[in-house]
Chain A
Amino acid sequence: MADGSDNNSDPWLRFRKATRARIGLGRSGDGLPTRALLEFQLAHARARDAVHGAVDFDRLAADLAPLETVRVHSAAPDRATYLRRPDLGRRLNEASRAVLARGDWDIAFVVADGLSAAAVQAHAAPLVRACLERLPGWSVAPVVLAGQARVALGDEVGALLGARLVALLVGERPGLSAADSLGVYLTWAPMPGRADSQRNCISNIHGAGLPIGAAADKLCWLAREASRLKLTGVALKEDAPALQGPEGSGPRPIDRI
């Protein structure tokens, strides 16, 4: 077979177990065999749909019920602006500032659409629930659902709510192998101007990646440590792998090293 998929005689079989990379695709002349070409296009289409899809926040609010939710929107009015103007995705629009009432909270959860509607739709509500089970006795703010939002939006939200910690769940930039990957950024004493080095991140939460339960364990461990040490970021280490979030600046060349 041109695509080398005959498993009985596929010399790549043992190598395929070691990597998800598209190895041993076969060739049609110098080009890709038709099946490999279409499989690639399908993966890319799913990633594009995840980026441009809209989170159904009504459904998400229903999934989170009976937890109270609050809806906010960033200063980026639409997806096209959101992609071009990361600065706007990091702050609230005028109307949203008015709906966030100040309280006295140990932690606030913010669900941001980020770059994958699919990730948020599938994994955000289960993760919030799993965390609440693991944080008995904590005072938890109403869950904030944020449209056209980037990671740093959590700083303004957390400050307005008066939360000591903010955990921002966000759809990560989709790759071809996972279009529904969720990330979480935890920030102590959130306020506008916090640097990425002052956050802790858990990445790669999806079906074939980090399971919800394990992600919740990790996040709640970090939250308890953050409350004890009164900080997050590089000083709160748990030797997590390097982070690749969707945060506004996008990946810089340094992300490749």
Chain B
Amino acid sequence: MAEYAHTLGRQRHVFDDLRAVMACASPRRSGDELAGIAADSDERRVAARMVLADLPLRVFLNEALVPYEADEVTRLILDGHDEAAFVPVASMTVGEFRDWLLSYEADTATLAALAPGLTPEMAAAVSKLMRNHDLVTVAAKCSVVTGFRTTVGLPGRLSSRLQPNHPTDDPAGIAAATLDGLLYGIGDAVIGINPATDNVPACITLLEMLETMRLRFDIPVQSCVLAHVTTSIQAIERGAPVDLVFQSIAGTEKANQGFGVSLALLREARDAALSLKRGTVGQNVMYFETGQGSALSADAHHGVDQQTVEARAYAVARAYDPLLVNTVVGFIGPEYLFDAKQITRAGLEDHFCAKLLGVPMGCDVCYTNHAEADQDDMDVLMTMLATAGVNFLIAVPGSDDVMLNYQSLSYHDVLGLRHLLKRPPAPEFAAWLEKAGWLDGQGRLPPRGPQSAVVRNLLGRIA
């Protein structure tokens, strides 16, 4: 492998290989420090960026960061690369690519056509040369639209996942949190439950409960129980009403093994979900979650920095035409993203890289109680992501997930963003809210008191 270097004054910064350039060019984060691959000074970090800016984009096609022979994700990325789509940027350096992405020439249609010509490593590389606002500006020009019973990702819209988790999967408790969320207009991306217990009968019980609710109120939504793919496949075999199949994925073959999946297994899961033909406006049947640090925590990062490995997970995702993908950005813990500054940056990087690669990206704007972050910090990230056109945000009752013991956004937060930024939910879902008579004259979803007809009617119809 080639050696890379840059001289600043009397200091010559040498980087052993392309992985080292990428790792040192990353903004500071605890996960890369834990892995022992981060730059050891701020100057070295910038020196690495200067090296990176002058490298041709094509270097990432010639030099695999994770060996081709050893990793099926690398093979997926390189074998699937669309050379024709790559042509517009094929002769650029990474630095020139940044300038071009920010230019007026790089508009929505141009970026959509380019996506199959980009590899995750190219997206990660250019993101390292960008400020947070650059990440927002370019992502806002990307449009990735998908559909099942609702259409998610249309320009000017903000969708949401309703996450009604319960510590013991109690159906009544989950139904309560779901109804509460519907009153805020949440759930147009998916009503998605993280089960406390991953087994087939429990999964089917929850799927049937959500299906009953969907049919009773005639809501255009899709549901998902976020069990392991193998659980979902068995549930489908037993005739359960499975809309979306979920799986956590990562950016290397070994990290995916840690999740108990392979590319072949994901293909099998998608085929099983497609066979049910349950979508109405579209047939995007997969839902993936990712997060920086998951590969390192599985000791499967191959010396690659966590942001680049994360971007590689989007290459996995896009191979399966998912309806939804989201990073669980602040969930993985402070040993990977230490504080709000690192969480915010990572959330914006993940959204940018995914959108550039043509992935329908959302975000769980969140943090754990051992990270240096609070709800004020989440306010900043959610507003930046909504401005950047994020496909969907996750929301839970009062920001408090009582099963996973971490904090996400509240139903209030997503509703407030929609009103503030004039970004209504998916059109099918917005029409349902209108028809139900829940909107006011300005198209807003106003507060309804506990005695209002809206609340009484909704709660009264649940046994």
Q: Which A positions have Cβ atoms within 8 angstroms of B?
A: 4, 6, 9-12, 15-16, 18-32, 36, 40, 43-44, 47-48, 50-51, 83-87, 115, 173-177, 241-242, 244, 248-257
Contacts and interface: CB of A to CB of B under 8 A. Distances in A.
Nearest to B178: A23
Interface string B160-183: 000011110010111111011000
Given A24-B180, A24-B450, A30-B412, A256 B194 contact: yes
Interface stretch (B92-100, B135-143, B395-403): B395-403
Contact of A32 (B258, B336, B368, B412): B412
Nearest to B419: A30
Contact of A177 (B30, B164, B331, B400): B400
A252 B294 contact: yes
Contact of A12 (B406, B415, B459): B459
A19 B335 contact: no
Q: Which of A25, A36, A177 has the most CB of B within 10 A?
A: A25
Nearest to A253: B248
A11 B450 contact: yes
A253 B407 contact: no
B8 to A, nearest CB: 28
A183 to B, nearest CB: 12
B176 A250 contact: no
9 A-B pairs with least C-beta separation:
A22-B398, A250-B333, A175-B405, A19-B173, A15-B176, A30-B416, A18-B172, A253-B248, A18-B173
A32 B459 contact: no
Nearest to B198: A257
Contact of B290 (A16, A18, A253): A253
B360 interface: no
B63 to A, nearest CB: 28
Contact of B456 (A11, A85, A254): A11
B338 interface: yes
Interface string B224-260: 0011100000000000000000111010000000110
28 contacts: A4-B450, A11-B450, A15-B173, A16-B176, A19-B170, A22-B397, A22-B399, A23-B176, A25-B412, A26-B450, A31-B412, A32-B410, A83-B334, A115-B370, A173-B368, A173-B370, A242-B196, A249-B297, A249-B333, A250-B336, A252-B291, A252-B294, A252-B298, A253-B259, A254-B258, A256-B194, A256-B226, A256-B328
Interface in B374-400: 374-375, 396-400
Interface string B257-291: 01100000000000000000000000000000111
Contacts of A15: 172-173, 175-176, 179-180, 459
A24 B447 CA distance: 11
Contacts of B91: none
Given A19-B402, A24-B450, A44-B374, A257 B194 contact: yes
Interface string B449-462: 11100011001100
Interface string B409-425: 01010011001100000
Interface residues of B, number: 74
A241 B397 contact: no
A257 B246 contact: yes
B5 interface: no
Nearest to A6: B450
Interface string B183-225: 0000000000011111000000000000000000000000000
Interface of B: 30, 33-34, 164-167, 170, 172-177, 179-180, 194-198, 226-228, 246-248, 250, 258-259, 289-291, 293-294, 297-298, 328, 331-336, 338, 368-370, 374-375, 396-400, 402, 404-407, 410, 412, 415-416, 419-420, 447, 449-451, 455-456, 459-460
Nearest to A87: B34
A19 B166 CA distance: 7
Nearest to A115: B370
A75 B299 CA distance: 21
A43 B370 CA distance: 14
A50 B369 CA distance: 9
Contact of B398 (A6, A16, A40): A40
Contacts of A253: 248, 250, 259, 289-291, 294, 328, 331-332
Contacts of B456: 11
A16 B179 CA distance: 12
A44 B419 contact: no
A226 B184 CA distance: 50
Contacts of B460: 11
A43 B397 CA distance: 15
A83 B415 contact: no
A6 B450 CA distance: 9
B297 A21 contact: no
Contacts of A254: 248, 258-259, 294
Nearest to A36: B398
A173 B405 contact: yes
B33 to A, nearest CB: 7
A31 B416 contact: yes
Contacts of B374: 44
Contact of A251 (B198, B247, B333, B415): B333
Nearest to B367: A44
Contacts of B34: 84-87
A84 B333 CA distance: 9
B416 A25 contact: no
A85 B335 contact: yes
A173 B406 CA distance: 9
A251 B167 contact: no
